[in-house]
Structure 1
């Protein structure tokens, strides 16, 4: 027999304007309606709060206006005031499939259920060739996910209040990568996460290289602050600062050296972009062939820009962490 569980949905917003309506409209269509929705506004200067209030007669919506609070603070305040034991987290810049909340709740409701955390999934809501290339390059496909090690985004995750408390809540000292650090804490206190691949949140990828660069700079700065992924960042620096210069040096020497250099560069390019190109082949059906060729060319550009942003942002975060420890 399935046990029905009450659930509080939480989100934070800041200057989302009319975009917040996508999230609220998708919450209206959930096959398992939320028992409570708490949205914390970090001090929006546009019409975000007015748009939220327009939905209060159709949704069980509470709005907390907390000027200056960051994402972690907003989430923690929403959870602290929530009335129910199960918390489902999402973000303002998404829309949710109708079965999103039902899929997140299912593992909690099975007879003998022991799960305290349920990982949902997210997919790009791309509308242009650039956004399609962006989604295929930087986001995993469902087939890429190993549920045993997958760390969910707080666009689509559910957990018990008890697990949140034992994990110490979202890290309020961290401005980016806060959900990743929270995931690690949850895994430490709650064990393996249940997997809900049908709990899908859709969000729009960055629509320009400059916006993408800023996003990944901030992510990497957050990695440095939180001391995450040392090995990954070290490998990236080694590839760009040691391996790539060596191959380029060979590419412009004698005949044999040129063959080694160019072969290494071509094999590296193919390996580097193999998975993004595979993902593109699965999602580019609406595109014309010129647009498809454009997305194939954009994938390596996006990867290089993202890597540059990470290599710049990571040491900034490391320096911040070192300075903080000295204070």
Structure 2
């Protein structure tokens, strides 16, 4: 048996899940609406993974099984109410739960309060040879309810004219186009920064569908907090049709939960001993925004990081830490939602695991190369941070490397404190790949730096 076949056997045979969103009038209230996720198939019998909104506000995800003759809305509402009660009980008893899964209070009805005007925004989408996916993303971006924004596509090292033809044809006059011939996501993002006109620069990927309120929710905090340098938002799966997609989402996916959180370097969070170096907990590059002036002041993204370079990633993590280490705040706001199309195959998942490992240590290398003054802080925090990481790993994997403790065996609800709804054993081969990637990260970053020097005129 080949190595690929052997490790592929670790992927469980999981039936597809429908993805939906349900809106309730409060935790114990009536169902206001139920609909498939944007671009998803109609709901029917079988497993359903649903975003639960409370009066329009994202509050949780649940997993339920809808049988023939059952009302899907009532089944999902019942699963959420049961989980909500468990979460409230755990929080009331003072038990340790991950901050990203704490029960969030429902905002009470209140009179409209005057809010500062939203800053002008630019949405930057870097892409390479994925015109069909890009069109889907652009349609959702042009439907945003933000009053003043620019959409800018950066065509990164193209080999055909498909992206340019799409933008300058179908989206002429509505979407701006720039070419970046040097490959690399960070380089493409820096090209977007140079061409952007907004006070706030939002970044997303070509494989997302943005909620209509996404840009407003992502940029609103900048108007209220002059010390804010960055915001991130909620990322949920657009489809869960393959075992690889389901496995990724069952282990947290890209989501950081439903509780807004402010990261302030003047008041470091007590539950993150390695702050601000735990950048992966802040958000992801598919859903982030920066105050343009702040991003420029830290030099933008490191061009030797990111997809398309030997560093494979870490460009977003680098930017988060640079902004925080410069004294600016970062806010996670779950009201800013995008639906992400996860990679579909086992090989995709293997590549992703390895790339995560490479990107993690590559971004740390980039920080220490460009900001060596951060090294004493990292060394000082490392022992406590590693102990904390081991405790989190033990909680998630369990004593035998199996499912998250408390995960329901029948897949009809959620484990208290877990994002998603059901945990499946994480293949050990993926953990090994990630560790191998971590060893390669510093070398990958240095290779990318040498390539960048060689590509300069």
Please give the TM-score of this superposition, normalised by the length of structure 2: 0.55
CA RMSD after TM alignment: 3.7
In structure 1, C-alpha distance between the alignment counterparts of 2:406 and 2:159, rounded to whole Å? 41
In the TM superposition, 1:65-214 aligns within 5 A as 65-110=179-224, 113-130=226-243, 131-139=245-253, 140=255, 142-143=257-258, 147-148=262-263, 150-175=281-306, 176-214=313-351
Question: Which residue is equivalent to 2:135?
Answer: 21
In structure 1, C-alpha distance between the alignment counterparts of 2:246 and 2:187, rounded to whole Å? 32
Which string of whole-angstrom CA distances, capped at 9 and with x for unpartnered residues, describes residues 152-188 of structure 1?
Answer: 2121112111110122110111131110111100111
Q: Could you tell me which of 426, 431, 447 is aligned with 1:307?
A: 431
Contact 2:247 2:426 in 1 (8 A): no
CA shift, 1:33, in A, is: 4.8
In structure 2, C-alpha distance between the alignment counterparts of 1:212 and 1:205, rounded to whole Å? 9
CA shift, 1:276, in A, is: 7.4
Contact 1:18 1:48 in 2 (8 A): no
**SS where residue 23 of structure 1 aligns?**
helix
In structure 2, C-alpha distance between the alignment counterparts of 1:162 and 1:213, rounded to whole Å? 37
Question: Which residue is equivalent to 1:63?
Answer: 177
Q: Could you tell me which of 433, 437, 441 is aligned with 1:317?
A: 441
In structure 2, C-alpha distance between the alignment counterparts of 1:157 and 1:132, rounded to whole Å? 24
Count of aligned pairs: 287
Gap runs ≥5 in structure 2: 1-113, 264-268, 270-280, 307-312, 366-377, 392-396, 415-420, 451-457
* Worse overlay, 3-12 or 140-149: 140-149
In structure 1, C-alpha distance between the alignment counterparts of 2:329 and 2:354, rounded to whole Å? 30
Q: Could you tell me which of 201, 218, 223 is aligned with 2:360?
A: 223
Contact 2:230 2:288 in 1 (8 A): yes
Question: Which residue is equivalent to 1:45?
Answer: 159
* Structure with the larger strand share: 2
In structure 1, C-alpha distance between the alignment counterparts of 2:430 and 2:383, rounded to whole Å? 17
Gap runs ≥5 in structure 1: 240-264, 284-291
Contact 2:242 2:345 in 1 (8 A): no
**SS where residue 360 of structure 2 aligns?**
helix
